[in-house]
């Protein structure tokens, strides 16, 4: 069948609608390694511009770490490039199982299973472990990949208001007749940078005989005293039944993810999770890199400590400048602008000042909640943060939003 | 259709779904098509009605259309009470 004019017109109209709504995403091409200092081509065809990256998930600054690169080279040499098979046919190497064991030890769980990505882990896990006799109760701000996983599962689904423990408890009571109950949350919420109240959630789950699921993608490697994640921060190591996380952010930033938790859950995924069964697992070169990342993190807490110091410095700098921030204590620091166009204008002006930070607006965040999401890295030095603060100050003055309240900014620019 | 039931359902919807206390809704505010209640969260409303009025609403009748306003919900529930 040819791609007829009729078909083409339908797609063109859809794409035009995205453009007209002002939400057409344009990619910026990075010509260097991922790091605090990058070289960017934007718009397409423009000359390269050196900018400071303030929006990567490269929390520990390990994306281009020389030891990780070296380990990846060695993995490539010793285990080859690809597996050309799914895990259960002939796609499992010794290093895959080694990484699973190392993640189990790192996260303090019973067992771990790798997935091609955390998106795949979240898409596959619920269907693998639940049936229509069960219920999933999720925080209303969980990541899109969890929403997709929930959609693929036949269990009943309900939600609770963001981080509202009274509301969660009422839902656990409402669904007390269900065979299995799973409470679902992000560990750190990616758009707001706040943490789930895991200590209270564990208590509620114990009280109502429910399992607890945590996606710790924006936490593994740096939240908690030794970087184990939000369960370490809240003193509930060993009490989270299902953790999903990614290797695509702090842990080297390449790709891949996993489900880690109770051994029966992990085995159920190995037998039933469709993204695991019907897709190649993580390439050996990436596995080798992640193993080195775990070596680096197990040696000392230097990088997560530096990240914590950098995040404090950045948050204080923006607060002193007079920006409205989302409260929190993670490396995700959202600068609230409320108006979608303002978030795009500020982002563009920052770029011209040599600062790469992206504006987010509806539907990525709620209407009237547009923002610049800044993300701090252990790869940042104080001079990076000072230069970025200088640029934020300059642009903040230009739009006269420094020292203004949420209400005042909304009155000036609308929602 | 009882006004009392309308008030009970309206109160539940406000308590369950609204985040902003200043937001106002009426009996005929579109809940699902208006983006106040997402289809994911509809299940708690259905379960609330079933428990409160001791009825069972079949899934094929618990549609986004039938649940779109407080008035429509009370019409649906009334049908099971008669």
Per residue in A262-279, pLDDT (tens digit) is: 999 999 999 999 999 999
Range of lowest pLDDT (A6-20, A223-237, A238-252, B43-57): B43-57
* Dihedral angle of Cα A293, A295, A296, A299, to the nearest 10 degrees: 160
Strands (DSSP E) contained in A7-95 are 29-30, 37-41, 48-53
Gap between the Cα atoms of A111 and A1, Å rounded: 48
Q: Which band of pLDDT confidence, cut at 50, 70 and 90, is reported for residue A79?
A: very high
Burial class (CB in 10 A: 0-12, 13-18, 19+), A299: exposed
Residue holding tokens 């993204």?
A: A275
- Domains in chain A, ordered, with CATH? 66-299 (3.40.640.10), 302-413 (3.90.1150.10)
Yes or no: say if A185 and A242 are a contact pair by the CB < 8 Å rule. no
Contact with chain A for residue B24, Cβ under 8 A:
no
CB pairs under 8 A between A and B: 23
- Chain B's closest residue to A168, CA to CA, is B16
Q: Which CATH number fits domain B3-81: 1.10.1200.10, 3.30.70.1530, 3.40.50.1820, 3.40.190.10?
A: 1.10.1200.10
pLDDT at B1 over 60: no
Strand order in the sheet with A135-139: A111-115, A257-261, A242-246, A211-215, A181-186, A135-139, A156-160
**Residue-wise pLDDT tens digits, A314-341:** 999 999 999 999 999 999 999 999 999 9
The values of phi and psi at residue A154, to 5°, are -80, -10
Contact with chain A for residue B26, Cβ under 8 A:
no
Residue A415: the pLDDT is 83
Neighbour-count burial for A58-68, b at 16+ CB within 10 Å, e otherwise? bbbbbbbbeeb
Q: Chain A contacts of B12, Cβ < 8 Å?
A: none
Q: Chain A contacts of B40, Cβ < 8 Å?
A: 147, 150, 157-159
The pair of three-digit structure tokens given for residue A299, joined into one six-digit string: 């040696």
Interface contact flag, A159 B48, Cβ < 8 Å: no
**Residue-wise pLDDT tens digits, A195-220:** 999 999 999 999 999 999 999 999 99
- Residues A170-174 have a mean pLDDT of 94
The values of phi and psi at residue A211, to 5°, are -90, 155
Gap between the Cα atoms of A300 and A295, Å rounded: 9
Question: What residues of A are in the B interface, CB distance below 8 Å?
Answer: 140, 147, 150, 156-159, 161-162, 171, 174-175
> Shortest Cα distance from A295 to chain B (angstroms)?
42
**B48 vs A249: which has the higher pLDDT:** A249
- Residues A368-378 have a mean pLDDT of 96
Q: Chain A contacts of B37, Cβ < 8 Å?
A: none
- Chain A's closest residue to B20, CA to CA, is A161
- Residues A135-139 have a mean pLDDT of 97
Q: Which band of pLDDT confidence, cut at 50, 70 and 90, is reported for residue A362?
A: confident
Residue A323: the pLDDT is 98
Interface contact flag, A158 B44, Cβ < 8 Å: yes
pLDDT at A23 over 90: no
The pair of three-digit structure tokens given for residue A298, joined into one six-digit string: 């197990």
- Residues B35-58 have a mean pLDDT of 87
Residue B21: the pLDDT is 62
- Residues B52-75 have a mean pLDDT of 92
Share of chain A above pLDDT 70, in %: 100
Q: Which band of pLDDT confidence, cut at 50, 70 and 90, is reported for residue B42?
A: confident
């Amino acid at each position: 069948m040819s791609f007829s004019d009729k078909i083409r017109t339908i797609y063109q109209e859809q794409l035009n609608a995205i453009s007209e709504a002002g939400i057409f995403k344009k990619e910026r091409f990075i010509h260097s390694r991922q790091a605090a200092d990058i070289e960017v081509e934007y718009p397409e065809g423009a000359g390269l511009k050196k900018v400071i990256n303030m929006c990567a998930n490269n929390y520990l600054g390990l994306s281009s770490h020389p030891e990780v690169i070296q380990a990846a080279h060695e993995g490539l040499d010793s285990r080859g490039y690809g597996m050309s098979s799914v895990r259960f046919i002939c796609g499992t190497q010794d290093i895959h199982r080694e990484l699973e064991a190392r993640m189990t030890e790192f996260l303090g769980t019973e067992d771990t299973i790798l997935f091609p990505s955390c998106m795949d882990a979240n898409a596959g896990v619920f269907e693998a472990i639940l049936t229509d006799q069960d219920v999933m109760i999720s925080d209303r701000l969980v990541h899109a990949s969890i929403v997709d996983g929930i959609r693929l599962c036949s269990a009943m689904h309900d939600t609770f208001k963001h981080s509202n423990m009274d509301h969660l408890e009422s839902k656990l009571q409402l669904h007390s007749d269900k065979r299995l109950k799973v409470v679902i949350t992000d560990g750190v919420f990616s758009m707001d940078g706040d943490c789930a109240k895991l200590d209270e959630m564990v208590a509620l789950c114990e009280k109502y005989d429910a399992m607890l699921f945590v996606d710790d993608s924006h936490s593994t490697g740096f939240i908690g005293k030794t970087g184990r994640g939000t369960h370490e921060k809240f003193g509930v190591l060993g009490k989270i039944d299902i953790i999903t996380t990614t290797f695509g952010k702090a842990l080297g930033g390449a790709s891949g993810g996993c489900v880690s938790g109770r051994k029966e859950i992990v085995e159920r995924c190995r037998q039933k999770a469709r993204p695991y069964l019907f897709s190649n697992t993580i390439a050996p070169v990436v596995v080798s890199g992640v193993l080195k990342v775990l070596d680096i993190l197990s040696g000392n807490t230097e990088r997560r400590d530096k990240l914590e110091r950098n995040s404090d410095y950045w948050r204080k700098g923006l607060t002193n400048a007079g920006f409205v921030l989302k409260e929190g204590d993670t490396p995700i620091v959202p600068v609230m602008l409320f108006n979608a166009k303002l978030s795009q204008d500020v982002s563009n002006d920052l770029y011209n000042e040599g600062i790469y930070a992206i504006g987010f607006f509806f539907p990525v965040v709620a209407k009237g909640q547009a923002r610049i999401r800044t993300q701090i890295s252990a790869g940042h030095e104080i001079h990076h943060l000072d230069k970025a603060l200088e640029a934020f100050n300059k642009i903040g003055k230009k739009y006269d939003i420094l020292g203004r309240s949420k209400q005042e900014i909304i009155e000036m620019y609308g929602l | 259709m009882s006004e009392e039931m309308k008030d009970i359902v309206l109160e539940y919807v406000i308590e369950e779904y609204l985040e902003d206390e200043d937001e106002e809704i009426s009996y005929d505010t579109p809940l699902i098509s208006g983006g106040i209640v997402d289809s994911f969260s509809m299940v708690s409303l259905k379960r609330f009605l079933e428990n409160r009025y001791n009825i069972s609403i079949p899934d094929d009748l618990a549609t986004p259309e039938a649940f779109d306003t407080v008035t429509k919900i009370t019409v649906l529930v009334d049908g099971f009470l008669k």
